[in-house]
Amino acid sequence: MPSAFGIIVKIQPKLAIYLSIVLTVVCLSVVVFQAISLSSITDPVELADAKGFVWFWTFLGSVVGVFGVLSWWIYRTDSNTKSE
């Protein structure tokens, strides 16, 4: 089924796995560095906002990690990629 612009983009499973690994590492590194800096925040409102920011990046990294595992599982069970 063609898209609105007539371009169909297909991402290879290996590329999806590698991109998800990179993005998961980036998200979780943001979580670690922000969590370390939470101890230096004294304002309670700013601290609550920073904790929300940390939880957002944790959620984002988790979702990307799940999609990476799903891509890996699809790649492993696909009969077309067994010959590679």
First-residue to last-residue Cα distance in the chain: 28
Q: In terms of pTM, does the model score above 0.85?
A: no
Distances (CA, A) of 52 to 15, 34, 56, 83: 31, 11, 6, 45
Instruction: Find, among 59, 68, 67, the residue nearest to 17 by Cα.
Output: 68
8-26 per-position pLDDT tens digit: 778 888 899 999 999 999 9
Domain chopping of the chain, boundaries: 13-81
The larger pLDDT score, comparing residue 17 to residue 82, is at 17
Chain-centre distance for alpha carbon 46: 26
27-62 per-position pLDDT tens digit: 999 999 999 999 998 999 999 999 999 999 999 999
